[in-house]
Every structure is written in C-alpha cells, then in structure tokens.
Structure 1
Amino acid sequence: MLMIRLLGPPALERDGRPVRSPRGRKAWALLSYVLLAERPPRRKHLAEMLFGDADDPLGALRWSLAELRRALGVPDVLSGDPVAATLGDDVVVDVHLLTSAYADIAPLLDVGGELLEGVQLTSCLEFESWLVVERHRVSTTVEARLRQAAIALLATGRPGEAIAFASRAVARNPLEEGNHELLVRSLAMAGDRTAALRQIAVCEDTLRRELGIEASAALQEAGTAGSGSPMVPPLSGRAAASSQLEAGRAAIVAGAVDAGIQCLRRAVAEALRCRDAALQGRALAALGGALVHAARGRDEEGAVVFHEAIQLATRTGDRATAVTAHRELGFVEVQAGRRKTADTWLAKAQDLAETDEEFAAVLGVRGMNASDRGDYPAAFEHLGESVERAGHCSDHRQQAWSLSILARAHLLRAERSQAAAALARSLELIHQQRWMAFLPWPQTLRAELDLCAGDFDGAADGFEQAWVLACQLNDPCWEGMAARGLGLLNAGRGDHRAAMKWLDEAAFRSNRVPDRYQWVHAHVLDAVISTALDDDDPDRARPLVVTLASLAARCDMLELVVRAHLHRSRLGDQTALASARLLGAHIDNPVLTEMLADSGPTRRMS
C-alpha cells in the first residue's frame, strides 16, 4: 500500500516505510493540485500555472508527470487531457483518508502540519493563491472531523475519549469559541470540573486578548454539564413526558424559549426514567431544535443532543426522528461553514427521507449550502424541488423559507425579476402563517431590491422595519442583514458617515454570537470593504480584506474568496486579479463574471 502524505512535509510511504519522493517542489505542487482540484485540470492550464516560465511549458509538464509516475511506481496514471486523478486501489492519499466522513477517527489525533508544509512557489502566483485557499479548506475539514468525533463520543457516553479530539480542535482553531465549549463540555461530563473551569478561563482570556470580545454564557453553562443527557427533577411516567414534550414545543413556538427548553429537558429526563427510548429520541430531537433555532449560542449543546437522538432513533427504528436529527446537524454545519460535514449529514437525511415534507426540508438546507458555496446550478435545483414538494404537502413555512433562499440566489446574480417573484410569494406565505420570527430576512432582501431599483424611500421603510423586528427578536443574523442594508442605503444617499456607522454595526451584530451564520458575516464584511473602497478609505478596507479572505477560504465560500481577491486588486495588489480569475472561472454568476472581465489595472490606494 502506497501512502501519499500531503499534510505536513510531503512524502511517500510504502507499507509504512519512506520511499523516494518525486524530485522538486513543482512535482509536489502538480500532484496535490491534480488530486485536490474540484475537477480534472486541463494540461494547458497546468502548464501555464506551474511552468509558465519554462521555454517549453507543456514539455516541462510532461516531464513532471513522468517523474510522478516513476515515484509512485504506477506507470499508467496521471494521463490524458484533462489529467485524471485516478490512482488505483493500492494508493491512498492522507487528505482523502482524513477528511472522509466514513474513515477511522483515530488518525485525526496525529495530524500536525498544514497542507504541503514548506512548499512555496513564489514564481507561480496563481498556484500560491490556490494553495492558500486549499490550506484553509483542508484545515477546516480536519477541524470539523475532530469536532464531529468528539460530539459523537459525547453522545455515546464516552466523554473521556472525546477530550482528546476536542483538544485537537481547540489547538487547530483557538479563536473558535465553539471548540473551547466542546472541550469544556467533554471535561465536565468526564467529571474533571477543575480542568473544565481552567479551560473556560483560557477561552475567555484568548477571546478577550485576540478578538476583543467576551465569551458567551453558553461557555460557562458547558462547565456544568452532567455525565448524560440534561437532567431535571422528573415528574411521573410516560404521559408526563409526552405532556412536557408538547408543552415545550408550544412554548418555543410562542416565543417563551427558556420555559420551552426547560419543558423539553423534563421530557427527556422523564422518558429516560421510564425507559421509553422512542419517546426520549423524539424529545431529544425537539430539544436540539430549540437549542439550535430558538436559543442563541447553543449550537454545540444542540449538536450533542441531536447525536443522542440519532442513536436512539436508530435503535428504535424511528425513521422520521432520524431524518430530522440528521437534517438539523446538517443545518448547524451549513451555518458554521463546514461544507463537507454538512453534505454528509444532509445526504444521510435525504437517503432516509420518504415524505414530501421531509424531502422539502432537507433539500432546502442543501440548497442553502450550495448557494453559500457559490454553486448556483445545484442551489437552484435543490431549492426548486424543495419549493415544489413543500407546496404539494402544504408545508407553507418550509415553502416560504426555501423561496427566500431562492430569492437570495437570484438577487446575488442580479436576476431581480425572478428574485422579486420569489420574495412576493415568500412574504405572502409568511404573513398568512403570521411567522414574524422569520419576517426580517425576506423583508431585508425585498428592501435591497428596492434599493437596486433606486427606490430609496421604499428601501428605507423595508430596512427599518426589518431592523426593528430583528432587534425585538434578538436575532444576530437578521440584525446584521438589516444593518447592512441601512448602511448601503446611506451610502447610496451619499452619507458616508452614516453608512459606515451602520455597516460597522452590521459587522458587530452578525458576529456577536459563537454560532454565527458565517455567510452573513462574510457578506457584511464584503459590503463594508466595497463601501470603504468606493469612498477612498483603504485604511479601513485593508485589514477587513484579510479577515474576509481567511473567513471565506475557511468556510468554502469560493465566490467571496474571489471577491476578496478583487478587493485586493483595487488596493493595488498586482497579482490579485489573476488569482481572482483563476478561482472564479467556474462560478456561474453573471455579476461576478462581469466584475472579473471589467477589472483591470487600478491605481494603488494608499
């Protein structure tokens, strides 16, 4: 068995022993690009990217491919045009092995260095841009796998084993509060309260020092986690558990979040006491949904609860609860920008789904994930089917939700008539259902359409209504989107001071909880940067571009990675435009295509 190691210093191993590696850094660059690129690359593209300075770029590419075949000991691979990445069953790539959702979790604890550690090709700027993005993507995928391993171990009652995986997640990304919370929860559930309190202090100091923010209340609460599912003094019997489950659901719908969560915790505890595993699974799924959707900063606990629900639903054959829990775990991962693990959970949910209602909900989240990634064809396919299935089963809230995400995709592509039609139907359904908790999102999108059409008064009404309701709901996502809109409105009116005040507020609001929706946060940053550059304020824009580029790469939001490169080009980076065109070549967005075509040499902003 041949192992290709791309994490850390690149190397080849056969049956666990080092063997001769291919000569030269460009050979490793070529191999990694072919193995990890989204689609098989054309030879002309590889030659221009890696061997553009050679007298015969295609000849240099042929020599490097031959060198790779010799080193791998497989004569008929890496051939054709485009170059195929099929290596055979006897060859394993560490990145593929570690990032697969079905691979053994133990090797995750031994992952150390970054992708192609020590490899730098300063003369190949397009490859360097790709490598920076890919390093972020791979690192985030490994981090997500570590988190999923820790959560799964917690859900199956093995917190002592979860500690190692949670610790590695913290080490990979110490600025993510959720990783610290997961470690604190693991330590507390393993009975080591002293270590849990120590980790809380470490997290608080780190966030305060590095980000200038305070940790959320959820971090402290994680330190009080018990050694099992959340327990509240039980009532009596299965009827009491069912009653608490229904009361909890009703309280959540009515907006009494804390009371609802307490009822759901009692339902879980009582179902456990009377040994009704099926009822306990349903109660856990309801509790997880409340923690993720109704509470703020509780996604980590919600994920653990959903894992427990899946365990029980699988054991009792409760397919419907399993679909719900898998879908909700996918939603948590989508919001966090962990695309690969999101796809895994959502694919499992879709495999289990049977009814129109189940398919509509799963496909809606899959469409959201594809749209966040910038994969518009997949987004339109998933969201279109979600809307259709939701209509068939009269699930009007799901239909309104999916229509709003569909409208967002059309708006990002400047397809304003299609966006307006989707939003009109979404808003009609929301008002029919009196779904005020969701109203600010489509209101903001509708107001942005008015702004694009030059209707400043209509836009102002829409953004202001959305802002007021978002603040009443205490929803950071809706607050961030509405404040962003008010910032763009003031920029359009020529009031730069008011515009930047609102955009700064949007950046704060969209980032004020640990379980933020990363796409909204990045979307807001993109607006702040664009507005600052339009007003000749490069000093404000420059550090935010670095933040946006890192966030977008880490969360696999390729369209926003490209936009970060375009901002760098406006700031005078002479290599950024070529990188943007390389990375954006396969994004099907007419707006972005026009931006890439129109961008040319710009004056350096200083």
Structure 2
Amino acid sequence: MLTIRLLGRPAIERDGVAIRPPRGRKAWALLTYLLLTERPQSRRHLSELLFADADDPLGALRWTLAELRRTLNIPDVLTSDPVITAFGDNVIVDVNLVTRDDTDPAPLLKAGGELLEDMNLASSSAFESWLLVERHRVSARIEARCRQVAVSLLAAGQARDAIGYAARAVARNPLEEGNHELLVRSLAATGDRVAALRQVVVCEDILRRELGLESSAALREAATVSTGNAVAPPLSGRAAGSSQLDAGRAAIVAGAVDAGLQCLRRAVTEASRYGDPGLQGRALAALGAALIHAVRGRDEEGSIALHEAIQLTTLTGDRATAARAYRELGFVEVQAGRRDTAEEWLTKAQAAAETDAEFAALLGLRGMNASDFGDYPAAFGYLIESVERAARCADHRQEAWSLSILARAHLLREEKNEAAAALQRSLELIFQQRWMAFLPWPQTFRAQLDLDAGNLDAAGDTLEHAWELACQLGDPCWEGMAARGLGLLNASRADYATALKWQDEAAFRCIRVPDRYQWVHAYALDAAVTTALKHEDVARATPMLDTLATLAAHCDMREFVVRAHVHRWRLGDGAALGTARLLSASIDNPALEDLLR
C-alpha cells in the first residue's frame, strides 16, 4: 500500500515505511496539482504553470513526470496528454482521507499542518496563487468535517468523543465563534463546566483582540447544559407534547420567538418523557429550524437538535421530518460557505424528498450554493426547477425566494433583462404574500440594476427603504446588503467620504453575528475594494483585499477569488491577471470574461 502525504511536510510511504521522495520541489508541486485539480490537465498547461522559466518547459515536465513514476514505482500512470492520474485503490492520498465524507473520521484528529507546508515556488507565481487558494480550501474542508463529526457525536450523547473533533475545528479556525461554541458544549456535556467556562473566556479574548467583536450570548449559555424547562406544562404525555409542538410552531410564525422556543423545548421534553420518538423527532426538527431561522447566533444549537431529529427518524422511518432536517442542515452549511458539506446534506434531502414543496425548497438551496461557488449552469438548472415546483404547489414564498436567487445569478453575469424580469416577479409575490421580512433582499438587487443604469434617485429610494426595514427586522444580512448599496450610491454621486462610512457600516453589519452569510460579506468587501481602487486609496484597499482573498478562498467562492486577483493586478501585481485567468477557466460567466480582458 502506497500512502502519499501532502499535509504538513510532504512524504511518501510504502506499507508504513518512508521511501525516497522525488527530487525537486516542482515534482511535489506537480504531483499535488494533478491529484487535487478536478479535471485532467494538458501537458502544455502544466509546462506553462510550473516550468515556464525552463529552456525547454515541455522537456522539464517530461523529466519530472518520469521522476514521479520512478518514485511511485507505478509505470502506467502520469502518462499521456492530458496526464493520467488514475492511481487505483492501492494508493492512499492523505488529503482524501480527511476531506471525503465517506471515510473514517479518526484521521481528522491527527491531520496537522497545511498543504505542502513551507513549500514555495517563487518562480511559478500562478502555481503559488493556486496553492494558496487550495490550502484555504483543504483547511476549510477539514474544519467542516470536524464540525460535522462533533455535532453528530454530541447529538448521539457521546460528548467526550466530540471534544477532540471540536478542538481540531477550533485549531483550524480560531476566529470562528461557532467552533468554540461546539467545544464549549462538548466540555459542558461531559460535566466539566470549569473547562467549558475557560474556553468561553479564550473565545471572548480572541474575538475581541483579533476582530474587535463581542461574543454572542449563545457562547456563554453553551457552558450550561440544559436540564429541561423550569416550567412544565399542566398536562403531560403525548397530548401535551403534541399541543406544545403546535403552539410552538404557531408562535414562531406569529413572531413570538421566545414563547415559541419555550413551547418547542417543552414538546421535546414531553415526547421524550412519554417515549414517543416520532413526536420527539418532529419537535426537535421544528426546534432546530426555529433556532436557525428565527433567532441569530443559534445555528450550533439548532444543528445539534436537527442531528438528534435525524437519529430518531432513522428509528421511526419519518421521511418528511428527515427531509426537512437534512435541508435545514444544508442551509446552515450554504450560509457558512462550507460547500461540500452543504451538498452532502442537500443531496440527502433530495433523496428523501417526495413533494413539490420539498423539492422546491432544497433545489433553491442547491441553486444558491452552486451560484455562490460560481457554477452558473448548475445554479440555473436547480433554481428554474425550484421556481417551477414552487409555483405548481402554490408555495409562493418559496417561489419568490428562488426567483430572487435566480435574479442575483443573472445580475452577476450582467444579464440585466433576465435579472429585472425575475426580480419583478419575486417582488410581486412578496407584496402579495405580505412577506415584508424578506423584502430588503430583492430590493437591494433591484437598486443595483438602477445604479448600473444611472437611475440614482430610484436606487436611493429603494436602498433607503431596504435599510430602514432591515434595521427594524434586525437582520444583519439585509443590513449589510443595503449598506453596501448605499455606499455604491454615494460613490456614484462623487461623495467618497459618505461612501466610506456606508461601506464600513456594511462590513460591520455583515460580521456582527457568528452565523453570518459569508457570500454577503464577500460581496460587500468586493464593492468596498473596487470603490477604494477607483479613488486610488491603496491604504484602504489593501487590508480589505487581503480579507476578501482569504474569505473567498476559505469559503470556496471562486468568482471572488478571481476578482481578488484582478484587484491585486490593479495594485501593481503583474502576475495576478494571469493567475486570475487560470483560476477563472471553469467559471461560466461572460461578465467575468469581460473583466479579465
């Protein structure tokens, strides 16, 4: 058995014994690129990527491929054009062991170091840029898997085992409050409240020192394991649990969130006490969804409740509850920019779905995830079907939601007529349904169309309305979107000072809660960098650009990765434009192609 280790200092082992590594850093670079890129690579592309400085780039590539074949002792791979990389089952790549969902999670506990640690190729700037992005992507995938395993173990009552995975997630990304919360919950669930509170202090210090943010109430509350509700319902048993579930759902819909959550928690308690796993699963799914959608900063707690619901549906065969729980977990991952885990949950949701309403909701999320990733063909396919299914079952809110995401995709591709048509229909449905809580989202895209057309007064009216409503709702996503638009509006009016204030406001609003929508944060940063560069404000643009590049790479937002490189080129990095073109090769966006020209 051959093991290729790319995390930390690279190495190759045969049956657990290290063998002579290939000669030269470029051999490792070539092997890593071939193993981790999605498509077969042509020899010309590989030679330009890694050996452009050689007298004979193709000859240097041939020598390096031969060196890798000798090292691996597998003569029939790394041949042909495009280069063949089918190593077979006798070759293990450590990156695959820790990033694939269908493998044993135990190696996650030992996965240390970054991809090709301490290895740099200054002579191959395009590869260096690819490697930087790939390091973020791999690290984010490991973090996401650690989180998923920790949540699953917590939900199964195995808190002691969850601690190690939660701690690894914290180590990978200590600036993510949700990772600390998982570790706090795991420690508290084992009875070690002192350690849980110590971790709370550690997280609070990191957030305050590194980001200038205060932690959420959910973090400290996580240090105390709930022992049920202090006030029990007057009735007990199945009838009490069922009535509490109905009351909780009704209260959440009516906007009485605290009362609704209390009822749903009681429903869970009563169903457990009565021994009704079906009712308990439905109550947990409702509680998890309410924690995710009705209050901010509660995604971790909500995810644990959904995992518990899924475990119960496995026993009861409750397909509909399982489908809902899978979809809600997918929503959490989409917003957080964890693409692969989002797809895993949404694929499970699709396998469990039967009704048009279920398909409409999960396909809308798959379209959102694909759009955030920069896969527009897939996004359009999912979103169009979602709209059609939602209309067929008269789920007009879902129809409006999916239309708004469809409009966003068209807008990002600068397909203005298609975006305007989708937005008009979305807004019509929102007003028909009196769904004011969602209105600011499509309004900001409608305003962007007006800005692009030079209709500044119309854009201003729309953005001001969106901002006021977003603030009344207290939704940081809508606030960030509206503030971004107001920044661009004032920049268009040549009021740079006011534009800066709004763009700073957008940046703050986007990150003021831990369960933020990462795409909105990147969207706001990109607009702020663009504005600063237009005014030759390099001192302002540079730190924001660094944040954008890191965020885009970590959350697999490929289009923003490309745009970050274009910004770097505008700041004087001559190689960045070529790298942007390389990274954009698989993104089907005419607007991006125009930008790169």
- Band the TM-score falls in, shorter-chain normalisation: over 0.9
- 2:345 alignment counterpart: 345
The CA distance in 2 between the partners of 1:217 and 1:39, in whole Å, is 45
**Is 1:594 aligned to 2:579, yes or no?**
no
Structure 1: any 5+ residue segments left out of the alignment? 598-606
The CA distance in 2 between the partners of 1:262 and 1:300, in whole Å, is 18
Q: Deviations over 1:110-137 (max 9, x none)?
A: 0111001122111000000000000000
For the residue of structure 2 that corresponds to 1:510, the secondary structure is helix
- 1:190 alignment counterpart: 190
For the residue of structure 1 that corresponds to 2:314, the secondary structure is helix
- 1:34 alignment counterpart: 34
- 1:249 alignment counterpart: 249
**Offset of 1:586 from its aligned partner?**
2.0
Residues 595/231 of structure 1: CA separation in 2 closer, same or farther (3 Å cut): farther
**Offset of 1:60 from its aligned partner?**
1.2
- 1:279 alignment counterpart: 279
- 2:533 alignment counterpart: 533
- 1:209 alignment counterpart: 209
- 1:603 alignment counterpart: none
Q: How many pairs were matched up?
A: 596
Q: Which amino acid aligns with 1:522?
A: A
**Is 1:139 aligned to 2:121, yes or no?**
no
Q: Which amino acid aligns with 1:120?
A: N
Q: Which amino acid aligns with 1:176?
A: E
- 1:416 alignment counterpart: 416
Q: Deviations over 1:138-161 (max 9, x none)?
A: 000001111111000000001111
**Is 1:161 aligned to 2:167, yes or no?**
no
Residues 17/423 of structure 1: CA separation in 2 closer, same or farther (3 Å cut): same
CA contact (8 A) 2:97 2:107 kept: no
CA contact (8 A) 2:327 2:345 kept: yes
Q: Which amino acid aligns with 1:233?
A: A
Q: Deviations over 1:487-536 (max 9, x none)?
A: 11111111111111111101100110011100000110111111111112
The CA distance in 1 between the partners of 2:230 and 2:524, in whole Å, is 39
**Offset of 1:357 from its aligned partner?**
1.3
Q: Deviations over 1:302-347 (max 9, x none)?
A: 1111110100111100011111111111110111111111111111
CA contact (8 A) 1:231 1:265 kept: no
- 1:391 alignment counterpart: 391
**Offset of 1:431 from its aligned partner?**
1.2
Runs of 4 or more consecutive aligned structure 1 residues displaced over 3 Å after TM superposition:
229-235
Alignment of 1:301-380 (within 5 A): 301-380=301-380
The CA distance in 1 between the partners of 2:34 and 2:131, in whole Å, is 12
CA contact (8 A) 1:506 1:524 kept: yes
Moved more, 344-353 or 179-188: 344-353
Compute the TM-score of the two structures, normalised by the length of structure 2. Answer: 0.98
**Is 1:457 aligned to 2:480, yes or no?**
no
Moved more, 274-283 or 54-63: 54-63
For the residue of structure 2 that corresponds to 1:123, the secondary structure is coil
For the residue of structure 1 that corresponds to 2:306, the secondary structure is helix
**Offset of 1:85 from its aligned partner?**
2.2
For the residue of structure 2 that corresponds to 1:223, the secondary structure is coil
**Offset of 1:585 from its aligned partner?**
2.0
**Is 1:476 aligned to 2:476, yes or no?**
yes
The CA distance in 1 between the partners of 2:329 and 2:250, in whole Å, is 22
Q: Which amino acid aligns with 1:390?
A: A
Residues 231/337 of structure 1: CA separation in 2 closer, same or farther (3 Å cut): farther
**Offset of 1:231 from its aligned partner?**
8.0
The CA distance in 2 between the partners of 1:540 and 1:519, in whole Å, is 21
For the residue of structure 2 that corresponds to 1:514, the secondary structure is coil
The CA distance in 1 between the partners of 2:541 and 2:118, in whole Å, is 30
Q: Which amino acid aligns with 1:362?
A: L
Q: Which amino acid aligns with 2:55?
A: D
Q: Deviations over 1:152-171 (max 9, x none)?
A: 00000011111111111111
CA contact (8 A) 2:549 2:564 kept: yes
CA contact (8 A) 1:189 1:226 kept: no
The CA distance in 1 between the partners of 2:260 and 2:125, in whole Å, is 54
Q: Deviations over 1:75-113 (max 9, x none)?
A: 111222222321111111111111011111111000111
CA contact (8 A) 1:173 1:179 kept: yes
- 2:263 alignment counterpart: 263
Q: Which amino acid aligns with 1:142?
A: I
For the residue of structure 1 that corresponds to 2:18, the secondary structure is strand
Moved more, 232-241 or 179-188: 232-241
Q: Which amino acid aligns with 2:232?
A: P
CA contact (8 A) 2:152 2:307 kept: yes
CA contact (8 A) 1:403 1:426 kept: yes
CA contact (8 A) 2:480 2:505 kept: yes
**Offset of 1:378 from its aligned partner?**
0.9
**Offset of 1:299 from its aligned partner?**
0.6
- 2:232 alignment counterpart: 233
Moved more, 462-471 or 350-359: 350-359
For the residue of structure 2 that corresponds to 1:3, the secondary structure is strand
For the residue of structure 2 that corresponds to 1:78, the secondary structure is coil
**Offset of 1:230 from its aligned partner?**
7.7
Q: Deviations over 1:214-261 (max 9, x none)?
A: 11111011111237x888635412111111111111111111111111
Q: Which amino acid aligns with 1:127?
A: F
CA contact (8 A) 1:529 1:545 kept: yes
The CA distance in 2 between the partners of 1:231 and 1:317, in whole Å, is 32
Q: Which amino acid aligns with 1:208?
A: R
Residues 232/282 of structure 1: CA separation in 2 closer, same or farther (3 Å cut): farther
- 1:56 alignment counterpart: 56
Q: Deviations over 1:438-468 (max 9, x none)?
A: 1110111111111111111111111111111
The CA distance in 2 between the partners of 1:23 and 1:324, in whole Å, is 52
Q: Deviations over 1:399-453 (max 9, x none)?
A: 1111100000001111111001111111111111111111110111111111111
The CA distance in 2 between the partners of 1:472 and 1:259, in whole Å, is 20
The CA distance in 2 between the partners of 1:423 and 1:365, in whole Å, is 18
Q: Which amino acid aligns with 1:76?
A: D
For the residue of structure 2 that corresponds to 1:21, the secondary structure is coil
Compute the TM-score of the two structures, normalised by the length of structure 1. Answer: 0.97
For the residue of structure 2 that corresponds to 1:142, the secondary structure is helix
Structure 2: any 5+ residue segments left out of the alignment? none
CA contact (8 A) 1:108 1:142 kept: yes
Q: Deviations over 1:534-593 (max 9, x none)?
A: 112111111111010000000000110111111111111222112111111221111111
- 2:290 alignment counterpart: 290
**Is 1:106 aligned to 2:112, yes or no?**
no
For the residue of structure 2 that corresponds to 1:84, the secondary structure is coil
Moved more, 390-399 or 141-150: 390-399
CA contact (8 A) 2:374 2:558 kept: yes
CA contact (8 A) 2:99 2:145 kept: yes
- 1:518 alignment counterpart: 518
For the residue of structure 2 that corresponds to 1:74, the secondary structure is coil
**Offset of 1:210 from its aligned partner?**
1.2
- 1:435 alignment counterpart: 435
CA contact (8 A) 1:364 1:386 kept: yes
